[in-house]
Structure 1
Amino acid sequence: MTANVIVVVERRLDHPRPRVFRAWTAPEEMAQWRGSPGWHVEAETVTSDLTLGGRHHHVKVRDDDPSVRVTTDAVFTEFFDPDVFVAKQRITGDADIDPDTPLELRVEFTAQGKQATLVRIIQGPYAPAVAQYHADGWEAELGRLDAYLAREEAR
């Protein structure tokens, strides 16, 4: 099936834009919240060179079966802290994604007043049959990000 669907997911987070951007891009923070329910990111696998042309790598592992691993390797094609980053990704280990068809991930961070941020994720192309599954995964990850930021703020 042809991968021709772009997924767009948005969520307003009640946290300042620089804080949300850092949680998304700093490897030590990203490892704390990335992964849909039932998955986690192996902290020791997260690396990011947060520059234009920089590389990013992480491995997600299924909680109930650690042999199931999905690897993301990416290169930043745009990087403007704290506004936006774009990465060309190669994802392996996900049966729904052809590792030979690169995906593009664009994440925008728009300030909404001083204390809130609209996060907009644009990613694809996906095959039509799996696009909603991946959109739902992003929704869940944004929920985890919000919970992580709230816990950190309460400290």
Structure 2
Amino acid sequence: MSDRDLVITRIFDAPRHLVYRAFTDPDQLAQWFGPVGWSVPRDGVDVDNRPGGHQRFTMVNDADPAQTALVDAHFTELVENELIVAEEDMTAMTDFPGDLLHLRVEFHDEPGGRTRMILTHGPYPGDWATESSAGWNSSFTKLDRVLALVGGDR
């Protein structure tokens, strides 16, 4: 971790296995990933959940579908219901001044069947971490709704 990494800690009102699954299941990713105002078409989600595998999809701006953002992450470590570690290829994002972002998502039990998630993402140049933080937190409001819907699987 560097001083240019974004770190977000959030408590979700769902057990750890459901939160982990929301990050790894293609159907659920399509429902919540991307900030409010962006969508992920399910037919474009490609996930291979194993070390050496990947997660690829495109976020589409709802107001201007010509505006898109590719997510192309390669898993370096996966521990079911505990940890996701990936490297995100940023070369397709021509305005991003780097080639690679590191992602680490930890899942911890909290009292009452809840989950504490710690997301570390970076390194970010300049003020990019502020924008990314807003995007992640907006996405997590959508994730809260998805988890409420799948909560019957507890």
TM-score (norm 1): 0.90
Matched, 1:44 2:43: yes
Match of 2:34 in 1: 35
Contact 1:31/1:46 (8 A) holds in 2:
yes
Contact 1:70/1:91 (8 A) holds in 2:
no
Matches within 5 A, 1:1-155: 5-91=4-90, 94=93, 96-98=95-97, 101-113=99-111, 115-153=113-151
* Distance apart, 1:154 and its partner CA: 6.3
**Cα shift readout 1:20-58 (whole Å, capped 9, x = no counterpart):** 100111111110111101111121111111111112101
CA distance in 2, matches of 1:19, 1:113: 15
CA distance in 1, matches of 2:16, 2:77: 17
CA distance in 2, matches of 1:154, 1:76: 29
CA distance in 1, matches of 2:20, 2:44: 20
The aligned amino acid for 2:102 is E
Instruction: Report the identity percentage.
Output: 34
Contact 1:70/1:92 (8 A) holds in 2:
no
Inter-CA distance 31–24: structure 2 relative to 1 (3 Å threshold): same
Query: Cα RMSD over matched residues?
Result: 2.0
CA distance in 1, matches of 2:99, 2:129: 15
* Distance apart, 1:152 and its partner CA: 2.9
Counting matched residue pairs gives 152
Inter-CA distance 137–18: structure 2 relative to 1 (3 Å threshold): same
Contact 2:91/2:99 (8 A) holds in 1:
no
Note the residue ranges of structure 2 that are not aligned, 5 or more in a row.
none
CA distance in 1, matches of 2:59, 2:91: 11
**Cα shift readout 1:100-125 (whole Å, capped 9, x = no counterpart):** 51001111111113611001110011
